[in-house]
């Protein structure tokens, strides 16, 4: 194991012992899963948390549900993960016991027969209360799905620049995050165009921010879907995880899990989405229905670590469309026959 991973494990062990001495208990943080009528992918994370009295919990929930809630990103990074803990998954009348990884993350596939649509998995450890995780089951006859990047695609974050990444992740109030003009309407229209189409949000962000991202997507009326994030930090063989590899692996996995599915890939030209989607299209040409790339403005491009003059030329492939916002991309996707109604609202200042 890489030395950095050994150091991280040692720190986690020390922090876990200290947190347990202070009375912190395991809790399961559920994430949205997806799957077919024969198997589903379950995602969650096990953390240690300070017990909250019922009265305080009710007030906290009311405060977080309000528009004036103030939730700083750094809080999600101070939780202590519980590694190698057993998590019980109850779904479809059957129970499955799986192990969390060294970061407390559970990413597993369970075999179960379910009807298409939304279902609920109940997750718990021996020492935690059960929680509910939504799971979307795709019908066998659905042949179209949506995969979208998050940073600078559905929200304007300028995350690739290190200092701004730290500010947006650790300091900025989640309600200050800005949705990208027209993108919520675009993704919602794409999902409505094929009833039962799965929506996947694929990002290089950390699992720590999954609850924040889920609230952002819901609050800004993005269609419900699974979040596929990563666990920051060292791995068994390297100092830092590769964000590009994370996206490549999950795209390849989705193509193999749904071999008849044609995906609409949505991203931006700020960093690596174009290259990643292009490589995926070369490897799985039958799995790509279209690629929609949001062009960043010159100022956004600079903040994202790319000079405006470095912008790639439009690809000659007719399945690739470019535009500055959701309305522009929607009009072009309508020309490809992927949207029946191209009439979308214009950009919002």
pTM summary value: 0.83
Q: How confident is the model at residue 174 (pLDDT cuts 50, 70, 90)?
A: low
Per-residue pLDDT for 47 more than 80? yes
pLDDT at 327: 95
pLDDT at 80: 83
pLDDT at 237: 46
Per-residue pLDDT for 257 more than 70? yes
- Read off the pLDDT of each residue in 70-94 and give the average, rounded to a whole number: 76
Neighbouring residues of 242: CB distance < 8 A, sequence distance ≥ 6: none
Per-residue pLDDT for 347 more than 70? no
Model confidence pLDDT, tens digit, residues 119-138: 999 999 998 999 999 999 99
What angle (nearest 5°) sits at the alpha carbon of residue 209, between those of residues 48 and 13? 30
* Angstrom distance (rounded) from CA 214 to CA 229: 12
Give the residue carrying structure tokens 């009348």.
93
pLDDT at 349: 36
Q: What is the mean pLDDT of the chain?
A: 81
Give me the CATH code for the 3-137 domain, please: 2.60.40
Q: Tell me the two tokens of residue 131.
A: 């929680």
* Angstrom distance (rounded) from CA 168 to CA 151: 11
In the CATH hierarchy, which top-level class contains the domain 144-335?
Answer: alpha beta
- HEC string of the chain equals CCHHHHHHHHHHHHHHHHHHHCCCEEEEEEEEEEECCCEEEEEEEEEEECCCCHHHHHHHHHHHHCCCCCCEHHHHHCCEECCCCEEEEEECCEEEEEECCCCCEEEEEEECCCCCEEEEEEEECCCCCCEEEEEEECCCCCCEEEEECCECCCEECCCCCHHHHHHHHHHCEHHHCEECCCHHHHHHHHHHHCCCCCEEEEEEEEHHHHHHHHHHHHHCCCCCCEEEEECCCCCCCCCCCCHHHHHHHHHHHHHHHCCCCEEEEEEECCCCHHHHHHHHHHHCHHHEEEEEEECCCHHHHHHCCCCHHHCCCCCCCCCEEEECCHHHHHHHHHHCCCCCCCCCCCCCC
Model confidence pLDDT, tens digit, residues 199-247: 999 998 888 888 888 999 999 999 999 999 987 554 444 445 567 889 9
The CATH 2.60.40 portion of the chain extends over 3-137
Q: How confident is the model at residue 171 (pLDDT cuts 50, 70, 90)?
A: low
- Output the CA torsion sign for 90, 247, 215, 38: negative
Per-residue pLDDT for 313 more than 80? no
Alpha carbon separation from 130 to 32, 57, 100, 199 (Å, rounded):
15, 16, 16, 26
* Angstrom distance (rounded) from CA 331 to CA 328: 5
The dihedral formed by the CA atoms of 37, 245, 226 and 151, expressed in degrees to the nearest 10: -160
Per-residue pLDDT for 116 more than 60? yes
Query: Percentage of residues in the chain with pLDDT exceeding 70?
Result: 69
Per-residue pLDDT for 336 more than 90? yes
CA 35, chain centre distance (Å): 15
Question: At what angle are helices 183-193 and 326-335 packed, to 10 degrees?
Answer: 30
The CATH 3.40.50.1000 portion of the chain extends over 144-335
- Read off the pLDDT of each residue in 155-181 and give the average, rounded to a whole number: 64
Q: Tell me the two tokens of residue 130.
A: 């059960």
CA neighbor of 43 nearest in space, from 90, 98, 105 = 105
Pairing of strands 144-148, 131-137: unpaired
- Read off the pLDDT of each residue in 244-273 and give the average, rounded to a whole number: 94
Query: Percentage of residues in the chain with pLDDT exceeding 90?
Result: 53
Q: How confident is the model at residue 117 (pLDDT cuts 50, 70, 90)?
A: very high
Q: How confident is the model at residue 22 (pLDDT cuts 50, 70, 90)?
A: confident
């Amino acid at each position: 194991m890489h030395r950095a991973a050994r150091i991280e494990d040692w720190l986690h062990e020390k922090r876990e012992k200290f947190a347990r001495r202070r009375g912190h208990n395991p809790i399961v943080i559920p994430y949205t899963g997806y799957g077919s009528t024969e198997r589903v992918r379950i995602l969650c994370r096990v953390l240690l948390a300070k017990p909250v009295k019922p009265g305080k919990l009710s007030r906290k929930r009311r405060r977080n549900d309000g528009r004036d809630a103030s939730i700083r990103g750094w809080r999600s990074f101070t939780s202590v993960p519980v590694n190698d803990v057993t998590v019980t998954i109850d779904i479809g009348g059957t129970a499955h016991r799986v192990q969390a990884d060294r970061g407390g993350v559970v990413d597993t596939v369970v075999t179960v027969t379910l009807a298409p649509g939304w279902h609920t998995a109940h997750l718990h450890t021996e020492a935690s209360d059960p929680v509910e995780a939504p799971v979307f089951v795709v019908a066998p006859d659905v042949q179209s799905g949506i995969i979208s990047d998050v940073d600078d695609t559905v929200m304007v974050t300028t995350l690739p620049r290190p200092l701004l990444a730290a500010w947006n992740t650790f300091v900025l109030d989640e309600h200050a995050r800005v949705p990208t003009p027209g993108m919520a309407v675009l993704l919602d229209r794409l999902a409505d165009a094929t009833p039962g189409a799965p929506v996947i949000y694929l990002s290089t962000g950390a699992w720590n921010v999954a609850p924040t991202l889920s609230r952002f997507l819901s609050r800004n009326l993005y269609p419900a879907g699974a979040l596929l994030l990563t666990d920051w930090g060292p791995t068994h063989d390297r100092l830092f995880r590769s964000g590009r590899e994370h996206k490549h692996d999950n795209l390849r996995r989705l193509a193999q899990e749904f071999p008849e599915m044609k995906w609409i890939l949505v991203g931006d030209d700020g960093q690596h989405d174009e290259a990643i989607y292009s490589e995926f299209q070369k490897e799985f040409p039958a799995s790509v229905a279209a690629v929609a790339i949001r062009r960043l403005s010159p100022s956004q491009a600079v903040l994202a670590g790319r000079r405006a003059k470095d912008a790639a030329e439009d690809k000659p492939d007719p399945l690739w469309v470019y535009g500055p916002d959701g309305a522009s991309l929607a009009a072009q996707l309508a020309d490809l026959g992927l949207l029946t109604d191209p009439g979308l609202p214009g950009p919002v200042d």
